[in-house]
Structure 1
Amino acid sequence: MQAETGFHLILYLNSGQDDIMLRSMREGAKSPIMKLFLLFLAAGFALWGVGDLSGGFLSGGNNAVSAGDRKVGIEEAANEFERSRRVTGRGLNVGEAIQAGLLNEVIGSLARETLFGAEADRLGVTVTRDMKRDSIASDPQFKDELGQFAEGRFLQTLRSSGFTEESYLEKLSSALEVTQIIGPITDGGIFATATATQVSAYQLEQRQASYLTFTPAPENISAPQDSTLSSWFTERQSQYDVPDLRSFDVIFLSADRIQNTITPREEDIVSSFEIRRDDFVTPERRAVRQMVFDTEEEARAALSDVTSGTAFNDVASARLNWTEGDVTLGIVRREELADELAEAAFDAEIGKAFGPISSAFGYHIAMIDSIEAASDVSLDDVRPAIIAALQSEQAIDLIYDHVTKIEDAFGTGASLSEAAALIGTSVIRISDIDRNGLTIDGGIYQVEDANDLTSDTLFLGQAWALEIDEMSTVIESVDDSFFVIQPTNETASRTRPLNEVKVRAIADWTTEQAFIAAITSATEAMARGDDGFADSILTEPFSRSGAGLDHSASSLMAAAAFGQKKGEIQLVETGRDVVVIRTDEIMRADDKEAEEFAVRLLDGFNDLVRNDIASAMALSLSETHKLEVNAAPVQQALIGSLGQ
């Protein structure tokens, strides 16, 4: 069994669940390793059916997670949350990241990792230094243009992903333990290579086409005669029926709506700045070059060459066949290096080679090329960011205080308006919306204070489930918002006569006639064959999805072009205009590109199945090793660090 296979396997285990992570977090994770690591995080608590861990799943004592003899302490879990937040949740403060579910995801990842670690202990599974080294060295993400492992590229990738060498190696050890546990079940291909090859060739096909656009022009259509409009309306009268409509009184509480009304106290701003200072300061950074040898003797010989006057890069080239890119680590912070190397590198003088330093990769000889001194920030530099963070956190607290107050008020028989006055807000009136939150004519309800509500399916469901004048309980919605609703009136559906909707009917009739005219012109162009395409636009090659096709209706046009033979023509109604498209060229997939894509597809297909196997096994292991999870003290530690 090859170690690298297991490493990729565990990181892909939850590829089917990556929609759990926030889009804002995905945007912060650009590097290949972090993209994979996010999939590992995404195991979450869906595996055990646990959604909210604020009260703890099971008591873990002084630990966040425990299974068998493996344990994750509260501080360790909090540090993992912070690392993940800074890398994957850029722009989110601690409170926002917790609300977004990152803590649950991190604890879920640690729980899964701990479970397989406990099983590895039971089975006597071990991970050797050679296994880790082989896995890293064979990973294509860490190889240079010549296909050789480049430690500089490796460390740069880890750095951009928030890992140190030490923390990455710990994760890799866990991954390799899982490899050895589930490998016998999942080794070997599950999907046939031929299947992946066929799918690859199909997906990578391209088309080139010519098209004509016919845009409807309602302004060129004359107004209809009354008799024409009447006849047209009679056939479509049901489209103008008034649906059942209701009006409501609502108390709506939202942290977003009140955030900007909060003015944090100066002492809170100062305290928060001191606590969060590390988020804003820039620590000392050093430009480092290094070379790494298998033995201490080789490293000492290289150091001797450098101290004797041979250029550092020349020694690396002669002894290791390393390029300048391989040698260069870039500008790094202390915490981005393994402890052994960091201590020596940040004590070293500029331009003086030092070493050997022993690490998991071998024996390092390094040199510092430049030093960027640490830079601090003043409160005034970051005051707006501190205030915004405090406003967000305090708004959430205030909303929950308001909820408690109005619930108590309702318990004493207060009316909706009395409860609203108690917390200094007003009752919102929503008038005449249907079950979908739309107006009498099917438009979006345009009232600023109610826009979020009338598009909320939970709100609409409650709004139409209550009896008239019946008041709901306080209902929690999304993004720290709550509402209380009381239907006040209902109007039954009815049919409307033409004179009530005449303006709308004329506009609809005119639009329809303009489309008919555009379709007629398009059909005539199709009938003229090549002559009809004299003024057509020739596209660039495009894919089945429409990628490469510069048009707002690219997916519809691509579907038409791929659905017909070369030289055939099809009419496409896009909803805005009418397009006539002719397929001019059918471009088969490049053999090499198709082969490479087929390999990725095959890995993806197989990993999806492996994910199911691993999830089922983890569920069983949670009982075998008596999994205990306690996220509450981790959250308390994180919130406590903010002075809340």
Structure 2
Amino acid sequence: MLGILRSAAGTWVAKGLLVLLVLSFLVWGVSGQLISGLAGHDSVITAGGTKVSINEYRLAYDRQLAVMSQQFGQRLSHEQAKALGVDNQVLAQLVSGAVLDEQARKLGLGLSKDRLAELTREDPAFKGPGGQFDRRTFEYMLQQIGMRPEDYLKNRAQVAVRQQIVEAVSDGLKAPDTFFKAVALYRGEDRTIDYLTLPKALVEPIAAPSDSVLSAYFEANKKTYAAPEYRKFSYVRLEPVDIMDTTAVTDSQVSDDYNKNKARYTTPELRTVEQLVFKTPDAAKAALDSLKAGATFDKLVTAEGKTPADTLLGTLAKDKIADKAVADAAFSLNANEVSQVVQGAFGPVLLRVTEIKPEVVKPLAEVSDQIRKDLALGEASRILLDVRDNYDDTRAAGSSLAEAAAKLKLKVVTMDAIDRSGLRPDASIVKDLPQSPELIKAVFDAEPNTENDALTTADNGFVFYEVASITPARDRTLDEVRQKVVADWTAAEISKRLAAKAD
């Protein structure tokens, strides 16, 4: 969602233009200071009459820190963030934004409330399962990232205005030919190499290692065979599909929805239409008279110096033919019938319909199950947050995760042992975990027997989880992994002997 707030400066052209804008603004003043040196100042950046407050810097810094922490899989300290240059990255982003905001202010650019509302409604992050804007989803997503609705709307409006400037000055610009030639030469470069493969047969068979050799190899690579930390945990998924009740949807509701949205189940009549355009009405009338005298449409096409491909409009529904006069005439003809002269948008024409595919309407019986499911999902989406509140209230009253799930008829899934890589002790992969990477990370950050904040799923649902126990990491004994150690030693020995022969 927040990615769009940076998209105005995403291309190399835009970035170059931003540099020029920033340099031009330096003539009359752009000042930036880091938090550590802000004593006596109320702003971090000043670009003409546009200022970025200390609070705005802190918010931007915290959001960037959260994004990078997620990428690194751990919460970054401020010292680590400084080493990675997060403070300077945020400052550079804010400088670019302030420069564009100031230019917009000087140009008098703005965004209407209606357009801002339309952009917000179109944001896919705020759409519910039905594909429409959902206010509760909007408020929840902003709450998750610590942003108030008014802050989001302000930022969204700023981005839209900034895009007006960037797109206006970058429209029509392109990379120089020298750049494209260099890329083409690089991508089209070919290299020929000669190599020789040494087969394992040159050094096989490899005798089994002695106990002392195997033990020494194991000790040297002991960490490779260590057992990782495992955790046992349970989770409950709460998504519309988990609480939908198709039995609560009546036949009458299904029938009403079918009739209301019948167009969704209708394939309109399609016609294959040919159109022969004439230069003048008289020429078109003469061609029509020749048809009445026994000429064929195909001969008229040839006489006009055209081919069948030139006259073919396509196989189209009536509303897909842009010229209304042509559409009305074409859909009044029988198959293989030629029209009267029609005054089309490009001149007088004769039309012929060569094929008619009738309208097809799927019967209610064929789509009733899907309609019932969609209606049940829609209702489940509507009450999802209420169910979430009920779960939270039940936990707050002292119920366990399992008890709260049972009360709401939700399924509890227990994983007996999983490591940070999503593997079981037998090295099999744990599949079908909701929000798998995020859930596994959260499980390994959590304390046992402690209630945790729910995770948000891609379908705007929730995952509640709780760690039951922890099996600490440990070094395995040679006897536990002997077979694998022998296989690894043998592979290493083969590589060493082949390398010796290659030398």
Band the TM-score falls in, shorter-chain normalisation: 0.5 to 0.7
Deviations 1:106-152 (A, max 9, x none): xx9xx99xx89xx9xxxxxxxxxxxxxxxxxxxxxxxxxxxxxxxxx
1:304 maps to what in 2?
A: 286
Percent of residue pairs identical: 23
Offset, 1:485: 1.9
1:326 maps to what in 2?
A: 310
Offset, 1:386: 3.9
- Check conservation: 2:269, 2:358, Cα contact below 8 A: yes
Which one of the candidate residues 441, 446, 459 is aligned to 2:439? Answer: 459
Offset, 1:397: 5.1
2:463 maps to what in 1?
A: 483
TM-score (norm: length of structure 2): 0.58
> Partners of 1:257 and 1:215 in 2: how far apart?
55
1:126 maps to what in 2?
A: none
The question of 1:354 aligning with 2:352 is answered no
> Partners of 1:276 and 1:514 in 2: how far apart?
69
Offset, 1:317: 4.8
Alpha carbons of structure 1 residues 226 and 194: separation in structure 2 relative to 1, 3 Å:
same
> Partners of 1:262 and 1:510 in 2: how far apart?
62
- Check conservation: 1:246, 1:491, Cα contact below 8 A: yes
Alpha carbons of structure 1 residues 520 and 264: separation in structure 2 relative to 1, 3 Å:
farther
- Check conservation: 1:251, 1:426, Cα contact below 8 A: yes
Deviations 1:139-190 (A, max 9, x none): xxxxxxxxxxxxxxxxxxxxxxxxxxxxxxxxxxxxxxx9xx9677534x54
Question: What does residue range 115-514 of structure 1 map to in structure 2 within 5 Å?
Answer: 186-187=171-172, 189-205=173-189, 223-255=208-240, 265-292=250-277, 298-309=280-291, 310-319=295-304, 321-338=305-322, 339-350=324-335, 351-359=337-345, 361=346, 363-383=348-368, 385-386=370-371, 389-390=374-375, 392-393=377-378, 396=381, 400-440=385-425, 443-446=427-430, 451-453=432-434, 456-513=436-493
Q: Which amino acid aligns with 1:487?
A: V
- Check conservation: 1:299, 1:365, Cα contact below 8 A: no
Q: Which amino acid aligns with 2:353?
A: I
Offset, 1:196: 0.9
Alpha carbons of structure 1 residues 186 and 401: separation in structure 2 relative to 1, 3 Å:
closer
- Check conservation: 1:303, 1:353, Cα contact below 8 A: no
- Check conservation: 1:307, 1:353, Cα contact below 8 A: no
Q: Which amino acid aligns with 1:402?
A: V
Q: Secondary structure at the match of 1:462?
A: helix
RMSD: 4.8
> Partners of 1:512 and 1:275 in 2: how far apart?
70
Stretches of structure 2 that go unaligned for 5 or more consecutive residues are 1-7, 12-62, 64-109, 139-152
Offset, 1:476: 1.6
Q: Secondary structure at the match of 2:221?
A: helix
> Partners of 2:206 and 2:254 in 1: how far apart?
64
Q: Which amino acid aligns with 2:183?
A: V
Deviations 1:233-269 (A, max 9, x none): 1111011223333322322334556779878544444
Deviations 1:556-581 (A, max 9, x none): xxxxxxxxxxxxxxxxxxxxxxxxxx
Alpha carbons of structure 1 residues 233 and 255: separation in structure 2 relative to 1, 3 Å:
farther
Deviations 1:1-58 (A, max 9, x none): xxxxxxxxxxxx9997xxxxxxxxxxxxxxxxxxxxxxxxxxxxxxxx9xxxxxxxxx
Question: What does residue range 479-628 of structure 1 map to in structure 2 within 5 Å?
Answer: 479-513=459-493
Deviations 1:192-247 (A, max 9, x none): 21221232243245578898877879996654332221111111101122333332
Alpha carbons of structure 1 residues 185 and 379: separation in structure 2 relative to 1, 3 Å:
closer
> Partners of 1:225 and 1:265 in 2: how far apart?
75
- Check conservation: 2:233, 2:414, Cα contact below 8 A: yes
Alpha carbons of structure 1 residues 254 and 343: separation in structure 2 relative to 1, 3 Å:
same
2:145 maps to what in 1?
A: none
Question: What does residue range 52-71 of structure 1 map to in structure 2 within 5 Å?
Answer: none
> Partners of 1:255 and 1:216 in 2: how far apart?
56
Q: Secondary structure at the match of 1:302?
A: helix
Q: Which amino acid aligns with 1:490?
A: I
Q: Which amino acid aligns with 1:224?
A: P
2:22 maps to what in 1?
A: none
Q: Which amino acid aligns with 1:485?
A: Y
Deviations 1:54-91 (A, max 9, x none): xxxxxxxxxxxx966998999xx99xx9xxx9xxxxxx
Q: Secondary structure at the match of 2:267?
A: coil
Q: Which amino acid aligns with 2:400?
A: S
- Check conservation: 1:313, 1:327, Cα contact below 8 A: no
- Check conservation: 2:402, 2:412, Cα contact below 8 A: yes
Alpha carbons of structure 1 residues 375 and 417: separation in structure 2 relative to 1, 3 Å:
closer
> Partners of 2:282 and 2:425 in 1: how far apart?
84
> Partners of 1:386 and 1:208 in 2: how far apart?
60
Alpha carbons of structure 1 residues 206 and 306: separation in structure 2 relative to 1, 3 Å:
farther
Structure (1 or 2) with the larger CA radius of gyration: 2
**Count of residue pairs brought into register by the alignment:** 367
Q: Which amino acid aligns with 2:290?
A: S
Q: Secondary structure at the match of 1:196?
A: helix
Offset, 1:505: 2.3
Stretches of structure 1 that go unaligned for 5 or more consecutive residues are 1-12, 17-48, 50-65, 86-93, 120-177, 528-644
> Partners of 1:514 and 1:394 in 2: how far apart?
64
Alpha carbons of structure 1 residues 190 and 429: separation in structure 2 relative to 1, 3 Å:
same
